[in-house]
Amino acid sequence: MKRLAYSSYVAQGGDWGSPVSGAMARLAPQGLLGIHINLPAVVPPVVAAVLAAGGPAPQRLSTEERAAFNALSAAAKMGNRSYATMMGTRPQTIGYAISDSPAGLAAWTLGHPGFTHWTYDSSDPEKSPDEVLDDITLYWLTNSAASSARIYWEYGGGRSPVLAAGEKTSKIALPVAITVFPGESYQAPETWARRAYRNLS
């Protein structure tokens, strides 16, 4: 940031930008005042273990915590992280396939849980058909589908970036702000967020 003539700055990230911003906060480079993230790493280790085993919700969860657990559990049971497992273990394999055919790329992209809720018609308040095609076309024209899959492998075999222990949130001392948007894959409970980030603003 010094090369850009900034003596102080903040980092903001959502989706993959969230673990990147978290890593920056752990490093705490000179001038970084804090981070703002969405899709935060707040899932406690005990809850993460139950989710990984496919077990029932732990006892004594608040209503908000239980809703988050149920959303994460339902997503796991529906295979919503299957794409991450594939890209986390064999990114090049899927990369060849989705770089070879625009129809294959579209099918793979539209199978991602973040895309599956789109209706592909003008009634969808979030994405028009043209915007959906724009997203797919961007990957196709830049031939970046394979390289975009590799981050899952580089990150650690497709592990979820929402786990507090995996993201070492306890090592972040800088101020952290979180925004929880309605369309996120889970609604991060404030109680989990305060447990995960000791300097939550």
Reduced 3-state DSSP string for the chain: CHHHCCCCEEEEECCCHHHHHHHHHHHCCCCEEEEEECCCCCECHHHHHHHHHCCCCCCCCCHHHHHHHHHHHHHHHCCCCHHHHHHHHCHHHHHHHHHHCHHHHHHHHHHCHHHHCCCCCCCCCCCCHHHHHHHHHHHHHHCCHHHHHHHHHHHHCCCCCCECCCCCHHHCCCCEEECCCCCCCCCCCHHHHHHHCCCEC
Q: Structure pTM?
A: 0.83
Quick one: average pLDDT of 24-49? Answer: 95
* 139 occurs within a structural domain: yes
Q: Which of residues 41 and 182 earns the better pLDDT score?
A: 41
Domain membership of residue 187 as a residue range: 2-79+160-196
Residue 201 lies in a domain: no
State whether 51 and 23 are in the same domain: yes
In a domain, residue 165? The reply is yes
Segment 149-166 shows an average pLDDT of 84
Give the mean pLDDT of 168-172. Answer: 95
- Do 7 and 40 have their domain in common? yes
Same domain, 74 and 109: no
Q: What is the reported pLDDT for 158?
A: 63
Lowest mean pLDDT among 40-44, 82-86, 104-108, 140-144: 82-86
| Residue 166 placed within a domain | yes
